[in-house]
Chain A
């Protein structure tokens, strides 16, 4: 691309108004991609009271940070957030638009892509440059993770939603970038109205837990998950599940790990009574170490695990938990 075009990272903020860890990773990835486009990396942050987040972005490699700061942008609204992006794209040409594969971007980016007539790759697990063609290739799982497809995007900007842990957080930059507040204009009438929100409290967020203990259909009911809770507590981790326990209501549906649930990559993932369907693997296969406990020696989960125990969880789990508890207490 000879043209002067920058890479734009779509930033997201936490409830305490810092940029998310996922956004920082995108800044790292964006810096790498931008190098191929004269090294210009920019970021956009939308929200209410997001000045601190803008500063953080300016100190992490953004040459320019666009800020859309308005009370109406406090939480995500499809029409309002789309309008901000549309207006920005009308003013500035970008070669790449990088977002996380988050709840917001999964909704916003398809809208934007179709609005602009741009190609979009969602749920991207890797990006690299094809040396022979000079094209950027975006890799994503298809067929529930049974194949990995690599796409080139023929339109500009190339739009992509990227999973967590694909990029690495960059070093803080020596000279912070410029912060540009976008003109917000008068509030507009929206067609859709968000009239309520119901959120549950979680002690440890699944995506951030260092250890995730997940149960599957073979747990047989909510009682089995008590044992998993105990194990998670001993290990300072969080409890997840494959889809059947969520569908059956044994655990909250927000516990689902997989291609249509949470994507996790903890230091240790313990899969109990989970067979290892591709759709589940897609959400945990990047974990550093994987332990599988299953009574079926042929279960596919053993093929992707580092450690395996063939047996009934009802017999194995109590001993496993108490032994770990004992040893970890001794270690202090």
Chain B
């Protein structure tokens, strides 16, 4: 039987943008990106790369699933062109990523997966680059009642199920699980391959489906967290710059200054 995989991907403002491109509005409690493009959240790209490698190794069919609003066609075409087979979008005005918490997001995604399935393998990034919460992947698995493994640095489909290398603070562990299962993927897996230009054009003709909130059933919107305040980070300090004729001279001054100030 063909291995059916779904990779959950989220569109976010490019997290590599400089600090000035994330405008924090305390009034509306929203972050407004300035002059940075939308991208697929990087760990979700890693998840897609993991799926592509599995497809190369044992075959399979990859559905990309995204939930949100204001989708950029170009972003998804490029992701599809790396070797995915189908796009499934859950789009709606009420599906504002900055207004949904992990609980709502995972419930919606789990409902979409259940409706669209069955799937043998669900892949997500370890955490989204905007919320940095790291809950949705494990949450989906819990809601669907399937095993899940977090922080994968390598994912293989083997006889009888999955073999995953899971990142630990001082190394990794090997976890084996039957399918169906969910894996959250870390960047150690490797970057998403770059699609050739013709593939991006060809991706337009790949199957694409969409679901609306109404299709997923009612009462899925209901946050457990309430955002009460949003503030810019207070991280800036006053920096004493070491002057010198040369870097060597400045380095010597820096050493002496650290000792003088009893930093060392």
Mark A residues whose CB is within 8 Å of B: 78-79, 103, 106-107, 110-111, 113-115, 117-123, 130, 133, 135, 137, 140-155, 191-200, 202, 211, 235, 243, 247, 253-254, 259-260, 262, 267-268, 277-279, 281, 285, 288-292, 300, 302-312, 315-317, 319-320, 323-324, 327-328, 331
Q: Is B73 an interface residue (CB 8 A)?
A: no
Q: Is B134 an interface residue (CB 8 A)?
A: yes
Cα-based distance from A149 to B233 in the complex (angstroms): 9
Chain B: number of interface residues, binned into ranges: 35 or more
Residue of A106, A191, A288, A323 touching B255 (CB-CB under 8 A): A323
Given contacts A106-B151, A120-B135, A260-B126, 8 further A-B contacts (CB under 8 A): A103-B168, A117-B103, A119-B223, A151-B225, A199-B168, A268-B263, A285-B235, A308-B239
Question: What is the interface of chain A mostly: helix, strand, loop, or mixed?
Answer: mixed
Chain B residues with CB below 8 A from A260, complex form: 126-127, 186-187
**How far, in whole Å, are A20 and B126 apart by their CA atoms in the complex?**
25
A122-B133, A152-B226, A191-B147 known; A198 vs B24 contact (CB < 8 Å) = no
The closest CB in chain B to the CB of A198 belongs to B171
- Within 8 Å CB of A315, what residues of B? 246-248, 251
Find the B residue at minimum CB distance from A146: B22
Once the chains bind, are A316 and B251 in contact (CB under 8 Å)?
yes
Residues of B with C-beta under 8 A to A211: 264
Residues in A with CB closer than 8 Å to B188 are 253
Mark interface residues in B131-155 (1 if CB within 8 Å of A CB, else 0): 1111100110011000111110100
- Which one of B224, B235, B242 lies within 8 Å of A155 (CB-CB)? B224
Report the stretch among B3-11, B12-20, B81-89, B207-215 that lies at the interface: B12-20
Between A and B, 21 residue pairs with Cβ closer than 8 Å are A79-B147, A111-B142, A113-B139, A114-B106, A120-B135, A122-B132, A143-B129, A146-B24, A147-B231, A147-B233, A153-B224, A153-B226, A193-B177, A196-B174, A199-B168, A254-B170, A307-B258, A308-B239, A316-B251, A317-B251, A331-B259
Question: Does the CB pair A153–B225 fall under 8 Å?
Answer: yes
Query: B31 to A307, Cβ gap below 8 A?
Result: no
Identify B18's interface contact among A288, A292, A300, CB under 8 A: A300
Flag whether B176 is at the interface (Cβ < 8 A).
yes
Which residues of A lie under 8 Å from residue B236 when comparing CB positions? 303-304
**B interface list, Cβ under 8 A from A:** 13, 15-16, 18-19, 22, 24, 31, 101-103, 106, 126-127, 129-135, 138-139, 142-143, 147-151, 153, 167-178, 186-188, 223-233, 235-242, 246-248, 250-252, 254-259, 263-264
Given A114-B106, A146-B22, A148-B231: A290 touches B237 (CB 8 Å cut-off)? yes
Residue of B131, B139, B168, B227 with highest tally of chain A CB at under 10 A: B168
The distance in angstroms between the C-alpha atoms of A118 and B235, with both chains bound, is 31
The answer to whether B233 and A141 touch across the interface, beta carbons within 8 angstroms, is yes
Determine which of B131, B232, B247 lies in contact with A148 in the assembled complex, contact meaning CB atoms within 8 Å: B232
Asked if A122 contacts B135 (CB within 8 A), the reply is yes
* Residue numbers in A under 8 Å from B129 (CB-CB): 143-144
Q: Is the CB of B240 within 8 A of A308?
A: yes
Q: How far apart are the CA atoms of A292 and B163 in the complex, in Å?
A: 42
CB <8 Å contact, B147 and A192: yes
B246 CB contacts on chain A under 8 angstroms: 311, 315
Most chain B CB atoms below 10 A, which of A120, A235, A254:
A120
On whether the beta carbons of B134 and A122 are closer than 8 Å, the reply is yes
A107-B150 in contact (CB<8A): yes
Residues B175 and A193 in contact, CB atoms below 8 Å apart:
yes
Given A307-B242, A309-B247, are A143 and B31 also a contact pair (CB < 8 Å)? yes
Q: Say yes or no: B232 contacts A197, CB within 8 Å.
A: no
* Other-chain residue from B170, B230, B239 in contact with A303 (beta carbon distance below 8 A): B239
Among candidates B15, B101, B239, B255, residue contacting A320 with C-beta atoms closer than 8 Å: B255
Q: Give the residues in chain B near A117, CB-CB below 8 Å.
A: 103, 224
B103 CB to closest chain A CB (Å) equals: 6
Does A309 contact B241, Cβ atoms closer than 8 Å?
Answer: yes
Residue numbers in B under 8 Å from A259 (CB-CB) = 132
Cα of A106 to Cα of B232 in the assembled complex, Å: 25
The answer on a CB contact under 8 Å between B254 and A291 is yes
Chain A contacts of B150 at CB under 8 A?
Answer: 106-107
- Report which of B139, B223, B238 forms a contact with A110, defined as CB distance below 8 A: B139
Tell me the minimal C-beta distance from A306 to chain B in angstroms: 6
Q: Which of B134, B232, B247, B255 has the most CB of A within 10 A?
A: B247
Q: What B residues does A78 contact at CB under 8 A?
A: 148-149
Measured CA separation A113–B134 after assembly (Å): 12
